[in-house]
Amino acid sequence: MESLFNLDLQPLLDHKSDLCLSIYLPTYKKGAETQQNFIRFKNLIQQVQENLSHRGLKEADIDAFLKPAYELLDDRESYFWEHQDLGLGVFCSSNFWQTYRLPTSFEEMVIVSDHFYIKPLMRFMNLNQPFYLLALSQNEVRLFKGNRHDIKAMELDDIPRSLAEALRYDDPEKQLQFHSSSRGGNSQPLYHGHGVGTTDNKKDIERYFQAIDNGLMSLLPVDKHTPLMLAGVDYLISMFQDISSYPNLIKDAIIGNPETLLPQQLHEQALPILHKALDQKQQESIEEYQNKQGTGEASDRLSKILTAAYNGQIDTLMLAENEEKWGDFDPNNYELDIHSERSLQSNDLLELAAFHTVKQGGEVYLMDKNTLPNNSSAAAIFRYPVVNYGING
């Protein structure tokens, strides 16, 4: 089962099959109610059987397709159903099986399509935005990956652990400019003060921070979507912000000496900063959309959004969170057909736009419809002006 910190949508996005099954259900974490987890899943599998039968699959083919699900239903010894969180996502095709146990409740849902249905996971990603936290001091560097629920230390790899370590490889003679103190039984330089001292000291710190930044850019994926937060005394934060090349560095920071803070204390102080930054980013996306209306760089026309999503032209997509639009879209001929009601051949067109946007590196926000521009169901900001292909919808 996929863990919270390893939640990776890419396998779902990359998988290709004519039949992709996506199941979402709410689950109970403890007590006698956990028995409902098994019962709900069993009922949903019965719905899948009916769906596949209506699509013309023979019973033997259905049994082969659902074999991993049957095995999960038969597995009562591993206590799978007794060790759940608030929500479970299950993804199955003829050669793919993945489950996600997540601290977010889902509505019961069964979707059979030619791709995995990811929109509920996008809601989870919005609510549980992962972030990096870099705790900086002259004596110590720590790097963490966190989300709303937890935080974990990361290996530093090529990132220097301290100013002393950075200078050791940069210019050994610089070590003589600092005094040593016994620390944990080892003699190593300690740096003091609440501001940058001499010009030489400032230059040393700048080289130290440049080495940290280089290490970060090698260690972390180049990802403008995952924010990086800083913790440290104010003058060091300011210096690192001037040097950093990370594409999504949060301006606000945890101010103070991070050496005295445990990981959970850092996490507690990080969450309000993270939530503020994410709210601000969404608001900036709305304002950017409004500024680009009429320029060819933004649209709320679903047909144009779908075409741009398939072509990898969407930078930011904003969707109404609790809305679905069922229909079909032909990306080759740019033909959109909106259905009056859901059928076996229907796709949720909003999810389809989200799927292809995320697959090609765009960002998706699920929002209350009242906050979306023009009260629309979808609004997209394009990476560059997009021509109108003559499509409607």
Closest of 63, 45, 26, 60 to residue 112, by C-alpha = 45
Q: What is the pLDDT of residue 2?
A: 56
Query: Can you tell me the distance from the alpha carbon of 14 to that of 93, in angstroms, rounded to the nearest whole number?
Result: 13
pTM value?
0.83
Q: What does the block give as tokens for 327?
A: 């229909």
Phi, psi of 340, deg, nearest 5: -70, -25
Nearest CA to 300 out of 226, 346, 350, 249 is that of: 350
For residue 379, give both structure tokens. Answer: 């609004």
Is residue 250 a contact partner of residue 134, using CB atoms and an 8 Å limit? no
pLDDT of residue 168: 84
150 neighbors 389 (Cβ within 8 angstroms) = no
Tally Cβ neighbours within 10 Å of residue 274.
Answer: 21
What is the per-residue pLDDT for 171?
56
Residue of 195, 200, 211 lying closest to 163 (CA atoms): 211
Rounded distance, CA 125 to CA 298, Å?
Answer: 24
Residue whose token pair is 């649209």: 299
Chain position carrying tokens 């300690």? 190
The pLDDT, as a whole number, for residue 388 is 67
d(CA 193, CA 209): 17
- CA within 13 Å, CB half, 117: 20
Residue among 262, 259, 236, 241 nearest 251 (CA)? 241
Q: Which residues of the chain have pLDDT under 70?
A: 1-7, 76-78, 169-200, 388-393
The torsion defined by the Cα of 344, 350, 353 and 355, in degrees rounded to 10, comes to -70
**Sheet of 335-338: strands edge to edge?**
335-338, 326-330, 347-348
Buried b (16+ CB within 10 A) or exposed e, 210-239: bbbbebbeeebeeeebebbbbbbbeebbeb
Q: How many CB atoms lie within 10 A of CB 36?
A: 14
Distance (Å, rounded) from C-alpha 140 to C-alpha 173?
A: 20
Distances (CA, A) of 354 to 42, 73, 222, 308, 349: 29, 31, 21, 11, 9
CB-CB contact of 88 with 27 (8 Å) = yes
- Contact present, 163 and 240 (Cβ < 8 Å): no
CA distance 35 to 334: 47
**What's the pLDDT score for residue 185?**
46
Q: Is 224 left (phi over 0), alpha (psi -120 to 50) or beta?
A: alpha
